[in-house]
Structure 1
Amino acid sequence: MDLHTETLSSSSPVRREDDAKLTPKASLLGATRAELAETLRALGVPEREIKMRVAQLWHWLYFQGARDFGAMLNIGKSLRGALAEHEHLTRPEVVTEQVSQDGTRKWLLRLAPANATDKGAEVECVYIPESDRGTLCISSQVGCTLTCSFCHTGTQKLVRNLTSREIVAQIVVARERLGDFPGLTPPTDGLLPQGEGRPITNIVFMGMGEPLYNFDNVRDAIGVLADGDGLSVSKRRITVSTAGVVPQIEKLGAEAGPMLAISLHAVRDALRDTLVPLNKKYPIKDLLAACRDYPGASNARRITFEYVMLKGVNDSPAEARELVRLLKGIPAKINLIPFNPWPGTQYECSDWDKIEAFSDIVFNAGYASPVRTPRGRDILAACGQLKSETEKLRARARLAVEAE
């Protein structure tokens, strides 16, 4: 069917059979297929047309990136009018956009108020361009509950979970800013990956929050992101990073099927209790047992273990050898992350020769052990540095008042 040819519904004009079912002015951006179907039923669309209309809406929302129901010319005029009356396609507001010298982009997004008392929460997402890929790091919560001692994001208290729609909206906004929908123009600063591939090839849930403490919304968002008729990001290119919410790990693999990353950072419970306090509830032994049972894990779908390199804390050769021992039997790769400093931190990054020695031990044991190149440090967009710009400004304002 020609998307630019108007096709009127074979049914009579849309009936609003039960206005109580309608949510006035609820954005459809980020909606699942099931949610779109519910919306159409509430608008009185006949059941025999639901599947077709959902497919049409899906294409316009996630393939075309439509911002206006009026552009959806293969949907009947009466239905477009009803959608425009009761729904909208508003995106989160881009409060700030920062571009690093290395091409990394960080956006502070203000979400629509969730209720009458909500002033509009804010989250950050980061785009990292590389020669062979473009990775978008997205958030799953506003703030975080985990208080990992080396992580700047963990110093911002949890405000709330993001809805699945708010999670999906982050990639839609990023693709718009990168000119990656039909009719849009990419930035002209020359910092995007060159070539004919898409700017965003990979999605990582490594932004603000613990994804597995927002399981249902993360699962539903992955379903939208991975749908081949829309945003079409392969599940093998979607990675969910967790600090180790053990009961949800198997469920993640079974119900969502993304790649798994574990924020490990220590090989002894005593140290990990300090670095990642969640370890007190789910110790290393239980965490690694869950990894061994992760559905679909194989040499072709390896689990990534993230290990931040902290000077004099966790970077000794003995700890590298213990890491290798702990991971025996798990299809794994190990990401060594040079610590990214942030104001007020007690930690320093390991010396480079220490990082190389650690990496050599892991590599010689047969594991891939890439050292992650720090990206976006100059705009506090690197791993562990995400924290709402507004939150920082408010904190500074409070300190200024207290000093008077």
Structure 2
Amino acid sequence: MINILGLCYEEMSDLFYRIGEKTYHATQLVRWIHYAGIIKFEKMTNLSNTLRKKLIQIAYIFVPKLYYEYKSKDGTRKFIIETNSGSFIEMVLIPDKYKNRITLCISSQSGCSIKCSFCSTGKQGLDGNLSSAEIIGQFWIAKHIINSKITNVVMMGMGEPLMNFRPLISSINIMLYKNAYCISKRRITISTSGVVPMIDLLGKYLDINLAISLHASNDAIRNTLVPINRKYNIQSLIDAGNRYLRKCSARMITIEYILIRGINDQNKHANELAKLLKKIKCKINLIQFNKIKNSRYESPVYKEVLRFQSLLYKHGYNATLRVIRGLDINAACGQLVGNIKYRTDRKNMYNINNN
């Protein structure tokens, strides 16, 4: 039995071919599941009774459970999702009424093996990869249970997306597919800590926005903040970013840079960063460090953040400051934890069985 929630159109077509059915049924099934939100075969009325009975014998549709919701005073919403294995992950819904945009921040793993020193997810280690059904299931929940009209997707939740490659590709292909969610490729961003071989592979499968979690202006600092740098250093990461740009239609890479007081926020770091990034077409997204449990790090005061930004402006860079969202519910950058067993009343869990 296979959970077909996570099958993209091509994979669904292959399934029908293997069971001796016409492949055009793939479009019908993907549309029922993802566009209409129907997860019971008996409700898929344009499929014959014979085909529905056949599907029941070989496949099922299982959506992860929406366990609990936290609401921030700024409108951000964090959702606790229970996976098939009983682990908990988090996804975040970020509305922006000024830009008429609703961004969904999706997790790709339960925990994370990268162990960035400023990130709560990394501190808990890796519990496991999410299946494509568990990744796209977050979008399914956002659309069909929460009833949100998602305009943008960022793969910036728990985990390193490129370390869970195949499920990631299938999930994004579903997001892009016109009979599923029909999200523009310009509105989907994958953020990576710098898994260089997988950046190269990504360019062969997808043409979407890429963000690199750089966070340092030299290898010495990045080795401490992002330990994977000891394997793939900054120069190899910039080279991979340039190769991705040559393969894809994206105009530039987004460089993410978290500012930590006394570590990477000084004038010399801004100047060093500016020199370093002349080698790649990019825009810079500055992020203030968000406090996490048992961390010695602190965020610089706001005027120091503005000073760092202004230095990058002087070097000719488009350097934006990420607005902090969901801080009061631990939903901001670096704060997602997930695999803690939430001791909340299960009566708060949403019921999806009627769909």
Task: Give the partner amino acid of 1:174.
Answer: A
Counterpart-to-counterpart distance in 2, 1:300 and 1:85? 43
Give the aligned CA root-mean-square deviation in angstroms.
Answer: 1.9
User: Structure 1's 240 and 310: CA in aligned 2 closer, same or farther, altered over 3 A?
Assistant: same
CA contact (8 A) 1:308 1:336 kept: yes
CA contact (8 A) 2:6 2:131 kept: no
Matched, 1:328 2:278: yes
**Which amino acid in 1 is paired with 2:9?**
R
1:34: which partner in 2? 10
Name the counterpart of 2:89: 123
Does structure 1 retain, via aligned residues, the 8 Å contact 2:107–2:159?
yes
Superposed counterparts of 1:207-356, under 5 Å: 207-296=157-246, 301-356=251-306
Which digits, 9 at most, give the CA deviation of each residue in 1:259-282, with x for residues without a partner? 110111111111111101111111
TM-score, normalising length: structure 2: 0.91
161, 171, 177: which is aligned to 2:145? 177
1:108 maps to which residue? Answer: 80
**Residue 138, structure 1, aligned to residue 88, structure 2:** no
CA shift for structure 1 position 38? 4.1
Taking the aligned partners of 1:295 and 1:161, their CA distance within structure 2 comes to 27
Shift of 1:205: 0.9
SS of 1:239's equivalent?
strand
Amino acid at match of 1:312: G
Task: Please list the CA deviations of residues 43-99 of structure 1 after superposition, one character each: whole Å capped at 9, or x if unmatched.
Answer: x443xx22x211111111121111222221111122123323443322101111111
1:366 maps to a residue whose letter is: G
Identify if the C-alpha distance between structure 1 residues 330 and 298 changes in structure 2 by more than 3 Å, giving closer, same or farther: farther
Of 20, 43, 54, the match for 1:82: 54
Give the Cα separation in 2 of the matches to 1:81 and 1:211: 36
Q: 1:38 to 1:293 in 2, by over 3 A?
A: closer
Instruction: Determine helix, strand or coil for the equivalent of 2:270.
Output: helix
Which of 1 and 2 has higher RCO (CA within 8 Å, sep 6+)?
Answer: 2
Larger CA deviation: 78-87 vs 263-272: 78-87
Would the alpha carbon gap of residues 326 and 252 (structure 1) be closer, same or farther in structure 2, given more than 3 Å must change?
Answer: same
After superposition, give the CA deviation of every residue in 1:237-264 in whole Å (9 maximum; x if it has no partner).
1111111111111221221222110111
What residue number does 1:150 align with?
A: 118
Which amino acid counterpart does residue 263 of structure 1 have in structure 2?
Answer: S
**Matched AA of 2:25:** R
Q: Secondary structure at the match of 2:268?
A: helix
> % of aligned pairs identical?
41
Q: In the aligned structure 2, how far is the partner of 1:299 from the partner of 1:223?
A: 17
Q: How many residues align?
A: 341
Residue 369 of structure 1, CA deviation: 1.0
CA distance in 1, matches of 2:16, 2:201: 31
* Counterpart mapping for 1:9-20 below 5 A: none
Structure with the higher strand share, 1 or 2: 2
Letter of the aligned partner of 1:249 in structure 2?
Answer: I
CA distance in 2, matches of 1:300, 1:343: 37
Flag the structure with larger Rg: 1
8 Å CA contact 1:241, 1:261 repeated in 2: yes
Matched residue of 2:154: which SS?
A: strand
The one-letter amino acid of 2:90's match is E
Q: Distance in 1 between matches of 2:13 and 2:178?
A: 18
Q: Matched residues in 2 for 1:297 and 1:87: separation?
A: 37
What are the ranges of 5 or more consecutive residues in structure 2 without an aligned counterpart?
344-355
Tell me whether 361-370 or 295-304 shows the greater mean CA deviation.
Answer: 295-304
Q: Secondary structure at the match of 1:314?
A: coil
Q: What 5-or-longer segments of structure 1 have no aligned partner?
A: 1-22, 114-119, 181-198, 394-404
Tell me, in whole angstroms, the C-alpha distance in 1 between the residues paired with 2:76 and 2:217.
31
Determine if contact 1:136/1:202 at 8 Å carries over to the other structure.
yes
- Pair 297,98 (structure 1): closer, same or farther in 2 beyond 3 Å: farther
Instruction: Give the equivalent residue in structure 2 for 1:164.
Output: 132
TM-score, structure 1 normalization = 0.80
Provide the C-alpha distance between the structure 2 equivalents of 1:79 and 1:392, rounded to a whole number of angstroms. Answer: 40
* 1:108-157 CA distance string (max 9 Å, x none): 111113xxxxxx22211111111221111111111111111111110111
Work out the CA distance in 2 between the residues paired with 1:323 and 1:70. Answer: 58
SS of the residue aligned with 1:293?
A: helix
Question: Do residues 57 (structure 1) and 29 (structure 2) align?
Answer: yes
The letter of the residue matching 2:204 is A
- For 2:69, the equivalent position in structure 1 comes to 97
The separation in 1 between residues aligned to 2:218 and 2:283, in whole angstroms, is: 19
* CA distance, structure 1, for counterparts of residue 74 and residue 61 of structure 2: 32
CA distance in 2, matches of 1:391, 1:345: 21
Superposition pairs for residues 366-381 of structure 1, below 5 Å? Answer: 366-381=316-331
Q: Distance in 2 between matches of 1:376 and 1:231?
A: 26
Cα distance in 2 for residues equivalent to 1:368 and 1:358: 13
Tell me how far apart the structure 2 counterparts of residues 339 and 83 of structure 1 sit (CA, whole Å): 49
